[in-house]
Structure 1
Amino acid sequence: MGSPPLQSQCLPEEAPPHQASHPPHCRPPRPSSRHDSAPPRRAAPPPPMPPRSRATAPGPALLVQLACALLLLLAPPCHCVNEQGQALLRWKDALRPAAAGGGALLASWRAADATPCRWSGVSCDARGDVVALSITSVDLRGPLPATLQPLASSLKTLVLSGTNLTGAIPKEIGGYGALTTLDLSKNQLTGAIPPGLCRLAKLESLALNTNSLRGAIPEEIGNLTSLTYLTLYDNELSGPIPSSIGNLKKLQVLRAGGNQGMKGPLPPEIGGCADLTMLGLAETGVSGSLPDTIGQLKKIQTIAIYTTLLSGRIPESIGNCTELTSLYLYQNSLSGPIPASIGQLNKLQTLLLWQNQLVGAIPPELGRCKDLTLIDLSLNSLTGSIPATLGALPNLQQLQLSTNSLTGVIPPELSNCTSLTDIEVDNNALSGEIRLDFASLRNLTLFYAWKNRLTGGVPASLADAPSLQAVDLSYNNLTGPIPRTLFGLQNLTKLLLLDNELSGPIPPEIGNCTSLYRLRLNGNRLSGTIPPEIGGLKSLNFLDMSDNHLVGPVPAAISGCASLEFLDLHSNALSGALPDTLPRSLQLVDVSDNQLAGPLSPSIGSMPELTKLYLGKNRLTGGIPPELGSCEKLQLLDLGANAFSGSIPPELGSLPSLEISLNLSSNRLTGEIPSQLAGLDKLGSLDLSRNELSGSLEPLAALQNLVTLNVSYNAFSGELPDTPFFQKLPLSDLAGNRHLVVGDGSSVSSRRGSISSSSLKVVMSALAAASAILLVAATYMLARVRRGGGGGRIIHGEGTWEVTLYQKLDITMDDVLRGLTSANVVGTGSSGVVYKVDTPNGYTLAVKKMWSAPDSDGAAAAAFRSEIAALGSIRHRNIVRLLGWAANGGTRLLFYAYLPNGSLSGLLHGGGGAAAAAPGKGAPADGWGPRFDVALGVAHAVAYLHHDCVPAILHGDVKSMNVLLGPAYEPYLADFGLARVLSAAASSKFDAGKQTTRIAGSYGYMAPEYASMQRISEKSDVYSFGVVLLEILTGRHPLDPALPGGAHLVHWVREHVQGKRNAAELLDARLRAGATEADAHEMRQALSVAVLCVSRRADDRPAMKDVVALLKEIRRPAGGGAAGDDDAKPQTRPPAAAGAAAGAPVSPARGAQHSRGQSSSCSFAVSEYSA
């Protein structure tokens, strides 16, 4: 028998016959054409060979056969991957992986392998079928696999988490019937959750969190009856939670937080999920009451439904959840009492109910929860006493009961809680003496009891708590001396005792407490001198001893406080000269209202960081040092009510940041106003009154940003400058200048004449008559409002005020009005002037006084109320919160939360409050990451106004000055003074036809259609945002005079891009300095988004929701983003604190502890609020 015919067709190793054909990925040696077709399965026997003689030479056919056999023996075997591998390779071809991440991982996926079982991320069973595909935290860049049908019957685990996948979830995934685990989390997936996915009957774990999925949770989710783990948090899901969720009897984890569009109640059917251990719905629109059926969750360990719209009572049935360890229901609208049944939760460790509307007493049954480590019931309306039973909690570490209406004493039994690190009982009505045994509280680091009615002395036993870092007993009725032993605490960084009745000297032992960072003793009756030992406090940053009875000099040793930034000694009886040398680090110096005398040292100009200098109401003499012109960051200078003589130094005109106030009043200054003062083009308030100045006022005509000016009682002469500001200036601010001519110089309404005493009498008579008329009108309006039952409270301050507060604030209009002085101006703009107001009750507000305008028909008042009605309901993490408003005739005030880090403009360009100090210190201004976060936050805010508010809102004045920065430099969009609410009848979805002519903007940020037609739409906000984004990227102001040819920023960028020049040349040098290649790539993409936003035609600009999507496409934040990233993670903590262990957050330090008046433990940094 001869051999069968030789075959050159290669079969894959270990492959079954039906997989023998070559896919495109296989590259075997090319066979000859005669062997291209596959051989028959069984070859027929060859014909018999003819007989040959021994001498006969082998024939040609035999030689060819021998040669082929030799080639087959020597050639390497040919490999070709099986059908499942081919499907995976087809998906690989659709990806664009990064070389260092996904590219390296997928390098092991080779077509020459027989099976994919040894490929990275692939697992097979014993038969060689793929059962798991698991790839995490690498950059694959591409779509989800839609062509894995060959794996459908075997694939049990599909994990593609953090792989930068895009597009929709393919509907084909519903056909992978063997799947038990599906994890597509932390990608950039869009679209809806396909209902077909709910056909996966064997699915046990489904993770779709941290994407951009939209639409509702499918009602079919209830079909996944094997499901134990479901995470949907940090998406853009909307609609209600389906009641079918109750069918998931095996479900253990349900987390859907961070979906703000999710609405409606928590369905009672949730009680059917009997195995549930984790329920997370934080940062959603979930509303209504907690259902009683929540008590059926006998295995639940964590309930995290914070920062939602929950209301109603906490059900008594919560006491049946006996496995509960963490209950997070803070920042809701829950009402009623805290149920006593909570005392049945023996395993409870963390109880966070702060910022609700809870009333009644703290249940003493809490003392039964022996495992409790953290209790935060702050910002409610709780009454009664602090239960002594809390002293029976051996593991308690943090007790936070701030801002309630608690009475009685601080229970001494708390001394038994030896694990306590944090006691916060401030802002209550507690009384009596502090009788805690601090020697037992050796772990205590923070003790806040400020703003109560405590009496007695500051406990000397505080020195027995060696771990203490912060003590705040301010705003009480404490008496006696400051204990000397207190300064033996080596870890003490903050000591705040302001506004008490403390007396006696400041102990010289203060110099021993070298860890002190913040010391506030103001508002007491302290006497004696300032001890020179204070100069040994090298870490001291903030020192306030104002409003006491201190005498003697300011010690020269204070220059040793090398870190001091804030020095406030005003309203004492200090004497002598100001020290020749003060710390160069000082940003604010206030020694006003003392008895300081002598000349001012030229060294006053050697404080490069100085922003505010208050020296008024002293006895200082000599000339004003021209060296003050070296303080380039100076924003406010008050030298009023002294005995300075000589002329005004021209150097003051070169202070580029002097924009709040310059007060030189009530001195003995002579000469003319130097022409250099015309350079103070940012100045808002100027007071030169009661001096001996002469000459013309013409140098002041160039001060275009002046809000107030007083030049009365000097010797000025000549004609008043012909500007609108001077034409409207009150005569009282010009009085006492005998030779000053008042008039606009025109032939239409000439008012030439000197301001004499007779004319003043006429003016005063007219004012008296007007006052009488106003009084009658006010009485009539008050009666009318009372009859009509108006919408707000009526508080008597200056006239009759209509007041509406959206948050509980213990303030009066008299408190607010006293703060509306030129010294408190922190910003001016097109819609009004903003003041920083510290009220006697400890609140710090940003109060915007709207510019008044003639309004004979009341239209402006109606528009004001329309705006307020909408803005009061806004709730977004990137929009500054409106706290309330007040109106009195033509005067309209807005109350906002005060933010400590200034504005984005200050951060980028300097001169903007605290944030302005950031450039050059390696702060957020220097890094792309923080700037990107600011840009994305502002985009979210504008998109919220356009697309989530019903009716929608146009902001109308988006600019960097209106982006304020919070404690962690998070952005807050502010100043809605130019905003306009769309008609309630209009759809919340915009169209090009919705326009208005009633919104203005700020020059440099206004869209071209407003300049040409004075008509704008929502696309005008998009244009303004684009300018802000360019400002972030380039570091240049839109009207930067350094731009070539005086071009606008938009034109400069547009010409650069159209000229196809290097985009890197546009970027801020601070960004380029530390940028990685990935940063540079992201910045170029962001530049493209900005250019798109500032398109000339409004129709060519994207909607704001699309701008948000484009920015998110550039980069996903590390860790997944918003609150839902960890359903149990508070959002008001600064990032360092918020990053607590998952599911076990620390309670946030509320805003009351970050602003000057609201908490005495605040940092002092004036925000550059724009108006």
Structure 2
Amino acid sequence: MSAITPIVLLIHFLTLFLFLHANSQFHDQAVLLRLKHHWQNPLSLEQWTPSNSSHCTWPGVVCNDNYVTQLILDNKNISGTIPPLLSDLKNLTFLNFSNNNIIGKFPVAVHNLSKLEILDLSQNYIVGTIPDDIDRLSRLSYLNLCANNFTGNIPAAIGRIPELRTLYLHDNLFDGTFPPEIGNLSKLEELFMAHNGFSSSRLHSSFTQLKKLKMLWISGANLIGEIPQMIGEMVALEHLDLSSNKLTGNIPGSLFMLMNLRVLWLYRNKLSGEIPQVVEALNLTFVDLSENNLTGTIPVDFGKLDKLSGLNLFSNHLSGEIPEGIGRLPALKDFKLFTNNLSGSIPPDLGRYSALERFEVCSNRLTGNLPEYLCHGGSLMGVVAFDNKLGGELPKSLENCSSLLAVRISNNAFFGNIPVGLWTALNLQQLMISDNLFTGELPDEVSTSLSWLEISNNKFSGSISIEGNSWRNLVVFNASNNQFTGTIPLELTALPNLTVLLLDKNQLTGTLPPNIMSWKSLNILNLSQNQLSGQIPEKFGFLPDLVKLDLSDNQFSGDIPPQLGSLRLVFLNLSSNNLMGQIPTEYENVAYATSFLNNPGLCTRRSSLYLKVCNSRPQKSSKTSTQFLALISSTLFAAFLLALLFAFIMIRVHWKRNHRLYSEWKFINFHKLNFTESNIVSGLKESNLIGSGGSGKVYRVVANGFGDVAVKRISNNRNSDQKLEKEFLAEIEILGTIRHLNIVKLLCCISNDDSKLLVYEYMEKRSLDQWLHSERKAKSASASGNHVPLDWSKRLQIAVGAAQGLCYMHHDCSPPIVHRDVKSSNILLDSEFNAKIADFGLARMLVRQGELATVSAVAGSLGYMAPEYARTGRVNEKIDVYSFGVVLLELTTGKAANYGDEDTCLAEWAWRHMQDGKPIVDVLDEEIKEPCYVDEMRDVFKLGVFCTSVLSSGRPNMKDVVQILLGRNRRWVCGRKNMRHA
């Protein structure tokens, strides 16, 4: 019996061990199933079901000895919080929940996973602060919390995680500081803290203790002060990006002593002084010091950086010559030195020893020739050298450069013929060589990719001949001020995409081609100062997009075809021809007063133009001198009385004439209308007043034969003339030329010395704010019948329409247009609740796509203004995106833009609501909230928060907004993280 006892005990022990082990395995599976249930059984986890197969085979689950050690659930469309039960997976070492819809604060459950080595919660909606005891996760080597909504400070405890090698905290809302204790992370290799709203902070000297740090990225993080000299002690540093901060002072020389430094980004700061002489940093592969205030010369030792692939020094104040050694760098691809004060010649070997891709040296004072070997490596995509003093012939290496996309060398002194191979370069899209001394003839064939051809102000000659379809993609053709002869070829009218054609100041002869109706896309046509003859074709009247037409200084004859009156021209010049007859009635106003000069045969029915009046009758002959003398001799006294009477009448007529001219209305129409200024002016009375604003009053007027129109009257005021004039001209310039279903139609403008009138199509349902906000609903009700709340389908329809109007302005207008005052009161509704953007008085055209401009005075409406615009006055399309985001929040919540306490507005209030992890459904407009619409309303609310990100880089563009609202890309916004940056 005693011999059996040890065996029995062993059996019991093994049985107990196996039971506990099996129970542990079952425990892990149960935790996973509870986790799935907590997340409401998402489709991505549908294979997590109890079965004969082990949970270790489930997607995203990795086990060791049947214990769950890795949970990899990135991109699984998981929504909700991370529950405390997760901490029951005691053996987890790897946890990845990135790119989901996780909300709430930093999960407590993660705190208890003491074995964690890798933690990735990036690209979610987690809010609040990082816990002060984050160092409980003492084994972490990888921590990624980027693209969430964390706020506050980065805790000092993060510097007490000794094994940490990778720390990603970029793209959050941190608004406090980052601790010097980060310098204690002796094993740290990558540190990313970019794109946060830290309070103004300096780089801590403790960072120099990070001897193993290879990548440091803190761009756009409100860094101030100078770059510390001791940064040279970070000996392992390979990639340094401190761009888009407020750094000042000189670039420390120690920076260029880092032997391992490969990439250096310091652009968009306020750095000054000279660039240190480069001696030690022989591993640099990319240097970007652009958009600073650097002075002095380019260090000669840059020519010793054999691994350098990119050199960006543009937009500084650098002077002197470009070191020749840079031209012999074997790895150089990007060479951007534009907008400096550089002089001398370009290194002649540039491109000879490397496969150069981008060559941009425009806006300097460079002389000499372009380097012969620019495209020697066969990879050159762009030659941008305009606004210099370069000369000579173009290098032959450009002739067979099939990789070229753009050549922009205008405003230099180049001469000779353009190499034939350059005209036909396979991928060439832009050839801009104006303001040089080029000679020769145009080729019959060009690159089929060519869309932009500018050759004005040169000495090209011969005829313009086009063969085949090689010119078919041309959009802009500017050949002004050359020596072209012959006729305008018929083939030129067959270019379907042509929008700008400038052939003025040449020696062209003959009549215009008969098939000009093919120019359906043409916006601008200038054929002035040639020797063209014949009649002006009536088919011009059928070019729907033509807005500028100049045929002056030619030999055109005959009548002006009345069909020209159907065009909506903002500029017309037919002067100095041999035209005759009456000008079209549409142009009988002062806006076109100089459009018909020096045509002796032309006449008008309006005496205010500089033309003779049509059908004027000769004045009756006066009495003969004999009769007059007899009358005087017989009735001297009567003559004296008549003279007094005549003088009195003349004085009165003169006064009336002056008074009439002073108050005479000038009429400029942009559409075909059948009413006159008198119809409009007579309706400007208080009984027709429907609204008023900062720039004037708005009236509803019945226009004869046209129906109702809306008239905005801007009264001249001596104290604000300049401001109002700018607003008036902005409205005219923009609305007079653009056409879109979701932009209010400007019919005409009428002005005199006292007032300016803008006449629009009348919008029956008034403005959106009158339908949304209680204090204005009474007005909307009285205007449109009994007030019924806008249901969600109408609100979404309005959002889509307004977004499409803004999208057209930003992406389809050239140049793009920024409205600057998008708000619900400037979104008007027609009888079917279709939305139209209105009130362009503050709009601003951008010179180039994406270019920032600065306005002298910030204008807009409180609650709608993007923070960077209110702070700096800088203008780009993203300020409209912010304002439109506020409108989306109004549509989903029913609250006004200024909703909140004295320190917040609707956008701030909405962001805080999401940051606190509160349900979005709680803030949706109770007046229209229905179960079937809640998900859609929630998505649009999220989009509104996304559009009102404090950092403009965190906002979508209007193309993306339209796609999201149309439902074509709804998951995109629901899955985007970091919806608001501080």
Q: Assess same fold via TM > 0.5.
A: yes
Equivalent residues in 2 for 1:604-1003 (5 A)? Answer: 604-652=516-564, 658=568, 660-665=570-575, 667-672=577-582, 674=584, 688-690=595-597, 694=603, 712-713=610-611, 715=613, 825=733, 904-905=804-805, 912-913=812-813, 979-981=860-862
Deviation at 1:202?
A: 3.4
The alignment status of 1:590 with 2:502, answered yes or no, reads yes
SS of the aligned residue for 1:342 comes to helix
Letter in 2 for 1:237: F
The alignment status of 1:284 with 2:196, answered yes or no, reads yes
* CA offset digits 1:393-436 (Å, max 9, x no partner): 22211111111111121111113311212211111111112233
- Mean Cα displacement is larger for which, 212-221 or 463-472? 463-472
Q: Which residue of 2 aligns with 1:61?
A: none
Separation in structure 1 between the aligned mates of residue 539 and residue 819 of structure 2, nearest angstrom: 41
Equivalent residues in 2 for 1:1108-1127 (5 A)? Answer: 1114-1116=970-972
Separation in structure 1 between the aligned mates of residue 76 and residue 443 of structure 2, nearest angstrom: 59
Q: Which residue of 1 aligns with 2:32?
A: 88
The count of aligned residue pairs is: 750
The alpha-carbon distance between structure 1 residues 240 and 958, as it changes in their structure 2 partners (threshold 3 A), is farther
Overall identity of the aligned pairs, in %: 28
Equivalent residues in 2 for 1:51-70 (5 A)? Answer: none
The alpha-carbon distance between structure 1 residues 466 and 915, as it changes in their structure 2 partners (threshold 3 A), is same
The alignment status of 1:568 with 2:466, answered yes or no, reads no
Letter in 2 for 1:541: S
The alpha-carbon distance between structure 1 residues 535 and 687, as it changes in their structure 2 partners (threshold 3 A), is farther
Given that residues 411 and 436 in structure 1 are in contact (C-alpha distance below 8 angstroms), is that contact kept between their aligned partners in structure 2? Answer: no
Separation in structure 1 between the aligned mates of residue 137 and residue 25 of structure 2, nearest angstrom: 35
Equivalent residues in 2 for 1:516-535 (5 A)? Answer: 516-526=428-438, 528-529=439-440, 531-533=441-443, 535=445
Letter in 2 for 1:447: F
Aligned residue among 570, 573, 581 for 2:491: 581
Separation in structure 2 between the aligned mates of residue 361 and residue 1123 of structure 1, nearest angstrom: 40
- Mean Cα displacement is larger for which, 388-397 or 238-247? 238-247
SS of the aligned residue for 1:535 comes to coil
Aligned residue among 217, 223, 234 for 2:147: 234
Equivalent residues in 2 for 1:88-167 (5 A)? Answer: 88-95=32-39, 101-103=44-46, 105-106=47-48, 109-110=49-50, 112-113=51-52, 116-126=55-65, 128=66, 131-132=67-68, 156-167=69-80
Q: Which residue of 2 aligns with 1:440?
A: 352
SS of the aligned residue for 2:256 comes to helix
Equivalent residues in 2 for 1:1009-1088 (5 A)? Answer: none
Separation in structure 1 between the aligned mates of residue 838 and residue 90 of structure 2, nearest angstrom: 54
Structure 2 unaligned residues grouped into runs of 5+: 1-14, 617-660, 670-675, 685-717, 739-750, 756-801, 825-836, 868-879, 908-926
Separation in structure 2 between the aligned mates of residue 964 and residue 732 of structure 1, nearest angstrom: 25
* CA offset digits 1:205-244 (Å, max 9, x no partner): 2211101112222222244332221111111222222233
Equivalent residues in 2 for 1:381-392 (5 A)? Answer: 381-392=293-304
* CA offset digits 1:266-322 (Å, max 9, x no partner): 322221122111111121113322111111110101011112321211111211111
The alpha-carbon distance between structure 1 residues 216 and 616, as it changes in their structure 2 partners (threshold 3 A), is farther
The alpha-carbon distance between structure 1 residues 495 and 662, as it changes in their structure 2 partners (threshold 3 A), is same
Given that residues 19 and 82 in structure 1 are in contact (C-alpha distance below 8 angstroms), is that contact kept between their aligned partners in structure 2? Answer: no
Q: Which residue of 2 aligns with 1:322?
A: 235
The alignment status of 1:209 with 2:126, answered yes or no, reads no
Deviation at 1:473?
A: 2.0
Deviation at 1:560?
A: 4.1
Q: Which residue of 1 aligns with 2:165?
A: 252
Given that residues 730 and 844 in structure 2 are in contact (C-alpha distance below 8 angstroms), is that contact kept between their aligned partners in structure 1? Answer: no
SS of the aligned residue for 2:55 comes to coil
Letter in 1 for 2:29: G
Deviation at 1:363?
A: 1.7
Deviation at 1:373?
A: 1.4
Q: Which residue of 1 aligns with 2:382?
A: 470
Q: Which residue of 1 aligns with 2:632?
A: none
The alignment status of 1:168 with 2:116, answered yes or no, reads no
Separation in structure 2 between the aligned mates of residue 237 and residue 1091 of structure 1, nearest angstrom: 20
Letter in 2 for 1:545: I
* CA offset digits 1:455-497 (Å, max 9, x no partner): 1233444464543332222211123344456424343332222
The alpha-carbon distance between structure 1 residues 214 and 957, as it changes in their structure 2 partners (threshold 3 A), is farther
SS of the aligned residue for 1:293 comes to helix
Aligned residue among 240, 262, 276 for 1:363: 276
Separation in structure 2 between the aligned mates of residue 200 and residue 963 of structure 1, nearest angstrom: 55
Deviation at 1:120?
A: 4.2
Structure 1 unaligned residues grouped into runs of 5+: 1-13, 24-79, 133-155, 699-709, 719-725, 735-740, 750-776, 782-798, 802-816, 831-850, 856-901, 917-936, 944-955, 987-998, 1024-1053, 1064-1083, 1095-1100, 1126-1171
SS of the aligned residue for 1:314 comes to coil
Given that residues 392 and 416 in structure 1 are in contact (C-alpha distance below 8 angstroms), is that contact kept between their aligned partners in structure 2? Answer: no
Q: Which residue of 2 aligns with 1:302?
A: 215
Q: Which residue of 2 aligns with 1:453?
A: 365
Given that residues 673 and 697 in structure 1 are in contact (C-alpha distance below 8 angstroms), is that contact kept between their aligned partners in structure 2? Answer: no
**TM-score, length basis structure 2:** 0.64
Given that residues 689 and 711 in structure 1 are in contact (C-alpha distance below 8 angstroms), is that contact kept between their aligned partners in structure 2? Answer: no
Given that residues 904 and 965 in structure 1 are in contact (C-alpha distance below 8 angstroms), is that contact kept between their aligned partners in structure 2? Answer: no
SS of the aligned residue for 2:539 comes to helix
Q: Which residue of 1 aligns with 2:642?
A: none
SS of the aligned residue for 1:89 comes to helix
* CA offset digits 1:347-385 (Å, max 9, x no partner): 1111111121111222223x4222221111111111222
The alignment status of 1:425 with 2:337, answered yes or no, reads yes
Given that residues 125 and 978 in structure 2 are in contact (C-alpha distance below 8 angstroms), is that contact kept between their aligned partners in structure 1? Answer: no
Letter in 1 for 2:213: I
Separation in structure 1 between the aligned mates of residue 195 and residue 230 of structure 2, nearest angstrom: 24
The alpha-carbon distance between structure 1 residues 686 and 119, as it changes in their structure 2 partners (threshold 3 A), is farther
The alignment status of 1:378 with 2:290, answered yes or no, reads yes
SS of the aligned residue for 1:430 comes to strand
Letter in 1 for 2:344: G
Q: Which residue of 2 aligns with 1:539?
A: 449
Letter in 2 for 1:604: I
Separation in structure 2 between the aligned mates of residue 664 and residue 537 of structure 1, nearest angstrom: 35
The alpha-carbon distance between structure 1 residues 1016 and 659, as it changes in their structure 2 partners (threshold 3 A), is farther
The alpha-carbon distance between structure 1 residues 489 and 511, as it changes in their structure 2 partners (threshold 3 A), is same
Separation in structure 2 between the aligned mates of residue 560 and residue 240 of structure 1, nearest angstrom: 61
Given that residues 36 and 45 in structure 2 are in contact (C-alpha distance below 8 angstroms), is that contact kept between their aligned partners in structure 1? Answer: no
Separation in structure 2 between the aligned mates of residue 982 and residue 475 of structure 1, nearest angstrom: 43
Q: Which residue of 1 aligns with 2:186?
A: 274
Deviation at 1:624?
A: 2.2
SS of the aligned residue for 1:285 comes to coil
